[in-house]
Each structure stands twice: as C-alpha cells, then as structure tokens.
Structure 1
Amino acid sequence: MARKHSKHGPYEDPRPEAEAPAAPLPCWLCGRPTGKTIVWHHPVPKSRGGTDVVPMHAICQQTLIANFSNSELQRHGMDVEALLANPNVRKFVDWVANKDPDFTATTAKRQR
C-alpha cells in the first residue's frame, strides 16, 4: 500500500525556472552554430594520443574522416586553417555554410 505522505517531499524540477537555454556552440570546422546533435570530435585521434575534444556537426566530422587519415589528423592537430587548406574540405565548408545546423547528407567515401 502506498504511503499517504512522502517523507522526502514532492518531486521538484532541479532546474531553476529563470534558466535560459545555453547558446549553441560553434562548429570547430565550419563555424556554424551546432544544432540538436553535437559530435564531440578528437582533432588528434585518440589512437594517436589525442585527449582534447571539440564540438562539430556530424556531417563535418564525416568529411574530415573521408579526407584525412589518422596520421594526417595528428600532424595537423588543432590547426583548422591547415585542414581548410585541403581543396575538398574548403569546397565542403563553402557549400555547407548556408545550410541548417541539423542538416545531414551522405558524404563521399575516402578515395584510396
């Protein structure tokens, strides 16, 4: 049988009512605000000793993975400008600049 009075009090929302939603984080690669889905990407792959993470769109991360190997990503590290020097990545960033933050599409597979 259920108790008539709870000894811990009523359930309350742990968030204060006046709390405003946080501003969307900018994508590390393209600079657009992130949408509902944020991918936390390791600029230096974990397999290469990377510990830092940056917010990205899923489509931006897929583009990096399709255009660079782990050793290339390790060499570039946190340098976004070096990654944008790649013509395929620059073309992608220019194309995706006016898309919705939650935009997704298939990306080309790595050409080996």
Structure 2
Amino acid sequence: MRPIPPHAKQSLHHLIPRLKGGKGGPTVLLHQICHNEIHATLTEAELARDYHTPEALRSHPRLAKFAAWVAKRPPDFHSKTPGGRRKRK
C-alpha cells in the first residue's frame, strides 16, 4: 500500500457499498485514482459479495494489474479513469 500525501486526491471507500447495507460500516482511505478504478471494474453487488476486504480487492486480476502499474507513478499521481465502466464477463 502506498502512502497518500495530504495534497493528493483521496476518498473513503466503503468496503461494503452503502447501497448494499454498508452505511456506517468499515471504510478505507484510498487514492482517488484507485477508488475510481475499483468502481469502474466491479459492480456494487460484486463488491458486497466477493470484494469487501482490502485483500480481496488486491486479489482481483484487473485491480492487481492496475495496482502494479500505478505503483510506478508518484504518490500524488492522478488521471481520469479512461472509458468508464469495464465490460463484465
């Protein structure tokens, strides 16, 4: 996990989406670019059912690939998530 500088874009991610019963539940602070990628990759139902821990998120193939790519960028790196939501299999 990379440090998040105070001036970097960041947000809280609900490990169980609020729409799926996670209101008031555990959250993790993420770089905004990582938070965007999570929500572009997974549906709320997938997050609630299978990816409700940091470890599970890291195990997703697309998110693992993204994490390896973004780890090579400066800690305050940010860019828009290209293309919006990904096509699901």
TM-score range, shorter chain: 0.7 to 0.9
Counterpart of 2:86? 111
Q: Deviations over 1:43-71 (max 9, x none)?
A: 11111111211110000000000100001
In structure 1, C-alpha distance between the alignment counterparts of 2:11 and 2:81, rounded to whole Å? 16
Which residue of structure 1 aligns with residue 4 of structure 2? 34
- More relative contact order, 1 or 2 (CA 8 Å, 6+ apart): 2
Q: Which amino acid in 2 is paired with 1:49?
A: G
Unpaired runs of 5+ residues, structure 2, are: none
| Greater Cα radius of gyration, structure 1 or 2 | 1
Equivalent position of 1:56 in the other structure = 30
Q: CA deviation at 1:106?
A: 1.9
1:97 corresponds in structure 2 to 71
Query: Post-superposition shift, 1:90?
Result: 1.2
Q: Structure 1 stretches of 5 or more lacking a match?
A: 1-30
| Distance across 1 between alignment mates of 2:60 and 2:52 | 14
- Larger proportion of strand: 2
* TM-score, scaled relative to structure 1: 0.65
Give the TM-score, by structure 2 length. 0.80
Moved over 6 A (4+): none
Q: Deviations over 1:53-103 (max 9, x none)?
A: 11100000000001000011001212x232223221111100011211211
Corresponding residue pairs, total: 81
Q: Verify: 1:74 aligned to 2:53, yes or no.
A: no
Identity of aligned residues (%): 36
| Aligned equivalents of 1:88, 1:53: Cα separation in 2 | 21
Alignment correspondent of 1:65: 39
Q: CA RMSD in A?
A: 1.4
Larger fraction in helix:
2
